[in-house]
Amino acid sequence: MEQKERSRVTVTSPLAEVRAARVRVNGANVTHKGIEILNDEGEWDCINIHSANYNLISNTQVAEATEKILSESVIRWTPEREVWTGRYWAKMFRSDVAVDAPQVDDTLSLGLRVENSYDGSCQFRMVLMGYVLSCTNGLVSPKMFSSYTLRHTISNEFSIAAALIHLESGINQVKNLVPRVNVLNDIPLTIDLLARVANETGLPNGEWGHITKLLGGTHSAWDLMQAITHRLSHHGRGRAGLQNEERIGDYFMDHLYREAA
């Protein structure tokens, strides 16, 4: 393949065929690898160019590994939703592990996000997360939940046993959220808090009109977090939407909690 500018890729299925191809610059081969995907028109599109030691992990391999891991887990997992941009794929699952949070009259469950990319924007990761069952909101916080990562390099090997240990560790991570939920529920929701969250989280201004419509009957920082995560979980777009969920989760569950605790 000749090196060319990155273009928009139209691929409906995240499991479309991919391959590594040689890269030519001015007619000469170079050591880098081009990653190509078979688009909806049956043509190969270049997604990105990587170094020679890049190890392509296809979404098909990710899906097969995920199915095997979840089938061997002592936890039962149910698919929730997917995000696919043509270069980045994420699939979310909800488990049967549930922890009551009686102070907010709700239940938290363990969740999982499996993600992979072809353009180098992320590694193959299994990211633990939470779900608030009353509204199926995602609760994503990298500071509160761990992740299992397989880097895109030739030297890495994937360990199913390590992945299973990682999944089971999520049970305690969900339990550890409950005291933080209680603290957030004790923080009054005021105009000053709303303005501060808007200024400090960096969410797009256009989201706040939708979020404020969800604030009727709310009284606490926990309620505000639920309104925001409801908007992001159900209307977020692409990887940027997932990154916004992570930013909100860390802001409330770590930053605001530490200030109030």
Summarised one tens digit per residue, pLDDT across range 24-69 is 776 667 788 899 999 999 999 988 899 888 889 999 999 999 999 9
- The reported pTM is 0.88
User: Token pair of 108, please?
Assistant: 């938290």
**181 contact partners, CB below 8 Å, separation of at least 6:** 101, 103, 104, 108, 222
Summarised one tens digit per residue, pLDDT across range 60-104 is 999 999 999 999 999 999 999 999 999 999 999 999 999 999 999
- Which residue, among 231, 229, 249, 236, has the nearest Cα to 82 in the 3D structure? 236
Summarised one tens digit per residue, pLDDT across range 140-179 is 899 999 999 876 666 667 788 889 999 999 999 999 999 9
Pairing of strands 124-132, 106-117: antiparallel
Domain ranges across the chain: 1-54, 57-261
Other CB atoms within a 10 A radius of the CB of residue 209 amount to 8
Distance CA 197, CA 25 (A): 48
